[in-house]
Amino acid sequence: MTSCRQSGIRCIRRARGHRIRRTARRRTSTRQLPGKKLKCSYDSCLQIKVLRASGLHYGQDLFYLCQRQIQARYPLIDRANREDAMATIHEHFSGLFIPHVTPFESSGALDLESLTRLTQHLSSLPGVAGLVSCARIGESSVLSIEEKRRVYEVSGKAVHDAGKVHIATIAPQSTDEAISLMRDLESLPVDGVMIFPPLLFAWGKVDPNLKVRFFEDLARETKLPIVLFQVPVKSYYYDPETVCRIARLENVLAFKEASFDINLFTETIQALKRDKAAMRVLTGNDRFVAESYKLGANGALIGVANVATEKWGAMDIAGRAGKFDEAAAIQHELELVKELVFSEPIVEAVARIKVVLQHDGLIKTAKVRRPQLGISEAEQKQLLDSYRVLKRNEFRSAETGAESKRRQAVA
């Protein structure tokens, strides 16, 4: 208990008058007096996520409580308090989320040392709300199931140590597979799951009911919060009405909208507002990130934020605060690096990001797994030259700001 407190983890209290079930997961089976603190079942654990709402503390290992769980575990909490609790949970899925890369040794094996260093660095930055593991940027398609588990474990520990949110990614091809993968993730340091749509969703003209039913089944059979993903492939698109129907499910807390279609993005957000949906919208549209906030985005989930992360974090903070001109100015500064990272062939964006991270000493190699080929030495030089210019400008800007503050203090 002492080590938990020293690590900044608040002790949890159970709702007054409610007995703790002997079957409760990773919680003490000893009955406590009302209002007494529960002893953590593994005192030194740094992965316990604590959610506070309306004066009560809801403790849950490794994942957040959805409304159904709150109702089941705490039936005496009135409706207003449940709504406050859900609003707090949704707020955890706002802000800047970074789908981090998966570092490899020169041999191609997982580089867990670099992974730890990278995820600790990214999650420690003040503008970052959380990290996403094993997404496209994380080369999930070339990782084995066991490798993904190791990535989730290592990344999750680093993210939770920093008090941030950790999202895993899955790409199931069936409902049963999705349920199995999500249940497996419940035992890992994961707070939510971003789901790539099954291939069937792009198979011609698909009935929206099929897509909605897929997520209804997941919400009913699993516990982890779900992040819906609008991939940048038109045949996979969720239309605004379908997104609204899925958003009504209690477990679906966020939506990465990466259609790269500003009209669809706008229509979807407007539809969600009309439907009074609580689901958070995270823009994945690298081409108009700053503008996304003006249109109603609650944050961003973008791979390019692996590079110049502090700048992207500052843009997110400005955008969510309604400082749209400031956000646009920051994006303008980042334009050159963004264009270099996501130039054609765009499939090599991961290799480009890794080159920059290796240059910064965060990972040992820029190794990518086949079929990716990596980038040429000439392209590496061009990329790093542009990156150095950005860093110099950032340093000068910080220096100018500090000098201005000193002058104001003297005056």
Which token pair is 80?
């207003």
* pLDDT tens, residue by residue, 233-248: 888 999 999 999 999 9
For residues 347-351, average pLDDT:
95
Q: Is the pLDDT of residue 35 over 50?
A: no
Tens digits of residue pLDDT in 203-216:
888 999 999 999 99
Residue 410: predicted pLDDT: 53
pLDDT at 54 over 50: no
DSSP H or E stretch at residue 371: none
Among 36-50, 87-101, 308-322, name the one with the lowest average pLDDT.
Answer: 36-50
Determine the CATH number of domain 92-333. Answer: 3.20.20.70
Looking at residue 18, what is its pLDDT?
44
Confidence of residue 336 (pLDDT cuts 50, 70, 90): confident
Q: 102: which DSSP letter?
A: -
Domain ranges of the chain: 2-69, 92-333
* Percent with pLDDT over 90 in the chain: 64
Is-contact 27 38, C-beta < 8 A? yes
pLDDT of residue 89: 67
Phi/psi for 131 (5° steps) reads: -120, 155
Whether residue 97 contacts residue 254, with contact meaning beta carbons closer than 8 Å, is answered with no
Token readout for 42 is 């593994």
- Position 191 scores a pLDDT of 94
pLDDT digits (tens, 9 = 90+) for 102-118: 999 999 999 999 999 99
One-letter amino acid of 56? L
Q: Vertex 233, ends 343 and 257: CA angle to 5°?
A: 85
| Mean pLDDT on 149-156 | 98
State the pLDDT at residue 261: 95
At 263-303, the pLDDT tens digits run 999 999 999 999 999 999 999 998 899 999 999 999 999 99
DSSP letters, 22-81, are TT-TTS--S---TTPBPPPSSTT-S-EEEEEETTEEEEEESSPPPHHHHHHH-TTS-HHH
pLDDT at 132: 98
Cα 124 to Cα 107: distance, rounded to the nearest angstrom = 29
Give me the pLDDT at residue 387, please: 87
Please report, in angstroms and rounded to a whole number, the separation of the first and last CA atoms in the chain: 50
Is it the case that residue 363 has pLDDT exceeding 80? yes
pLDDT band at residue 42 using 50, 70 and 90 as cut-offs: very low
Identify the weakest region by mean pLDDT among 30-44, 200-214, 324-338: 30-44
The average confidence (pLDDT) of the chain is: 81
Query: What is the C-alpha separation between 35 and 114, in angstroms, rounded?
Result: 43
C-alpha 100, offset from chain centre: 10
Which range, of 82-86, 118-122, 173-177, averages the lowest pLDDT? 82-86
Instruction: Name the pLDDT band for 403 (thresholds 50, 70, 90).
Output: low
- pLDDT, residue 86, reads 52
pLDDT band for position 411 (cuts 50, 70, 90): low
The per-residue pLDDT for 327 is: 97
Alpha carbons 162 and 160: distance in angstroms, whole number:
5
Dist CA 66 CA 86 (whole Å): 7
Q: What is the share, in percent, of the chain residues with pLDDT greater than 70?
A: 74
Q: What are phi and psi of 8, to 5 degrees?
A: 85, 15
What is the DSSP code string of 285-318? -GGGHHHHHHHT--EEE-GGGGSSHHHHHHHHHH
